[in-house]
Amino acid sequence: MKLNFGCGGNRLPGWQNYDMDVDISKPLPFASGSADYIFAEHVVEHLDCGEVMNFFTECYRVLRSNGTVRVCVPSISKVFMYADDEYLDWLGSSGFGESTRKSAIRNLMVNHGHKTVWSEELLGVALRGAGFSTTYAEVGKSEDPNLCNLEGHGKVIGEHQNWVESIVVEGIK
pLDDT in tens, 61-107: 999 999 999 999 999 999 999 999 999 999 999 888 899 999 999 98
- pLDDT attached to residue 94: 87
β-pair type (16-18, 63-74): unpaired
CA angle 148, 130, 63 (to 5 degrees): 50
pLDDT in tens, 11-65: 999 999 999 999 999 999 999 999 999 999 999 999 999 999 999 999 999 999 9
Quick check: 44 and 116 in contact, CB under 8 A? Answer: yes
Max Cα–Cα distance, the chain, nearest Å: 47
Quick check: 165 and 76 in contact, CB under 8 A? Answer: no
In the DSSP assignment, the letter for residue 141 is -
pLDDT in tens, 33-44: 999 999 999 999
Confidence label for 129 from pLDDT (cuts 50, 70 and 90): very high
List, as one string, the DSSP characters of 72-124.
Answer: EEEBHHHHHHH--HHHHHHHHHHTSS-SSHHHHHHHHHHSTT----B-HHHHH
